[in-house]
Amino acid sequence: MLLYFLSLLLHKRIFLQGPVTVLILFSSNFFLFAQETFTDQLSLLFAGDVMGHDAQISSAWDSKQNTFRYEPVFQYIAGYVQTADIAVVNLEVTLAGPPYKGYPEFSSPDELARAVRDAGFDVFLQANNHALDRGQSGFKRTITVLDSMNVLHTGTFLNDTDHQQYHPLILEKNNIRIALLNYTYGTNGLVIPEPYIINRIDTMQIRKDIDKARIARPDFIIIAIHWGNEYERFENGSQRDLAEFMLNCGADAIIGSHPHVVQPVKFIYSNDSSKFNIVVYSLGNFVSNQRDQYRDGGIVFEIVLEKTAGETYVKNYSYMPYWVYREDLQEQSGFYILPVRYFENNESLFNLKEYDLYKITRFAGDTRKHLEGIPENDFYD
């Protein structure tokens, strides 16, 4: 136990972030040290794709301070994110250093990741099709920068040792233990040399990884997966088949990204209808410069778990729609994530032009209709 605890404190990829504990998962031994109480709750938040297009990079430059400032982007949604016990987001850029560039080979300033962290996100997902945009050096630097910021992350790894110890990522808070696995369908045809590793969708490997996760005796297993077809508002047959496979292997929830639009949320009930699995096929963009209909916003999805007498179940779930406002000023543009309900209660905010008012209203209507029957979070009411 002493050796295990020392490794927990000393290893460069283990951080104690307040009351969130990250546990090392060994292939053959797992040591438990948490004391179980009678009833506990845990709230989990999931946000979609953090992009870094050219317009976003230029908008973040502060010429007076000679630095990049991304904090304003998240100022209207950070209060909600920070209420979660664990908040997870997909970082779909590299932190490869200058020259900074958007599509198709993303490299954003480190300040973007720092602002996302400061907005309240605890875990960054990195298994996505842009993870290798800047090759070996960009891949390595992204991981190194996140480590230096004490940001938890998963999906990409510096070597097999890191992969063996930290995949699946095991998180524990409020006496509820989560196993988080992250995969991508591909990397835009790019290949990374050994020893670096990125998790790709492979059904045999996913089954093995879920079996490995069970060593930690998690209360809830979540798979965050980069899949589907871009810009399609409904999941395809391959997504449905893969979701069914992962649930049958033991996943409790599946959270999807990559299509850059919101796709349906589905619930799969067990035979006795007492428990159900959640599949969020796509959260859409979290922030980007994509301005077309359906792509200019997304949802945050919240799952509240409750654990009573050793039994864990989904107590609540909800979604929060948000729209990304691009404010084009003569001097410089700005990007702001606007929760729809927050805006509806503050319609004078930004004094939106008629077209922008139309777009946020359209996005709200499209999303609510698309997710009809799913409760909307009322945090900003």
Residue at 202 is within a domain? yes
CB atoms within 10 A of CB 64: 6
Residue at 375 is within a domain? no
Tally of helices (H runs) and strands (E runs) in the chain: 11, 19
Two tokens, residue 8: 């927990």
Residue at 63 is within a domain? yes
Two tokens, residue 53: 């297009």
Residue at 376 is within a domain? no
Give the domain range for residue 268: 2-370
Residue at 149 is within a domain? yes
Count Cβ atoms within 10 A of the Cβ of residue 94 and give its class: 0-12 exposed, 13-18 middle, 19 or more buried. Answer: buried
**319 in Cβ contact with 265 (< 8 Å):** yes
Specify the DSSP class assigned to residue 298.
Answer: E
Around 161, how many Cα atoms within 13 Å sit in the side-chain half-sphere?
3
- The enclosing domain of 18 has a CATH number of 3.60.21.10
Count Cβ atoms within 10 A of the Cβ of residue 323 and give its class: 0-12 exposed, 13-18 middle, 19 or more buried. Answer: buried
**158 in Cβ contact with 120 (< 8 Å):** no
For residue 222, the SS3 value is: strand
Residue at 380 is within a domain? no
Q: Which parts of the chain sit beneath pLDDT 50?
A: 1-17, 27-34, 36-37
Q: Work out the angle at residue 325's Cα, subtended by the Cα atoms of residues 106 and 83, and round it to the nearest 5 degrees.
A: 85
**324 in Cβ contact with 47 (< 8 Å):** no
CB atoms within 10 A of CB 332: 13
For residue 67, the SS3 value is: strand
pLDDT one-digit tens code per residue, 134-186: 999 999 999 999 999 999 999 999 999 999 999 999 999 999 999 999 999 99
Number of domains in the chain: 1
Residue with tokens 């998180």: 171
Residue 272: the pLDDT is 60
Residue 132: the pLDDT is 97
For residue 192, the SS3 value is: coil
**339 in Cβ contact with 293 (< 8 Å):** no
Residue at 377 is within a domain? no
CB atoms within 10 A of CB 298: 30
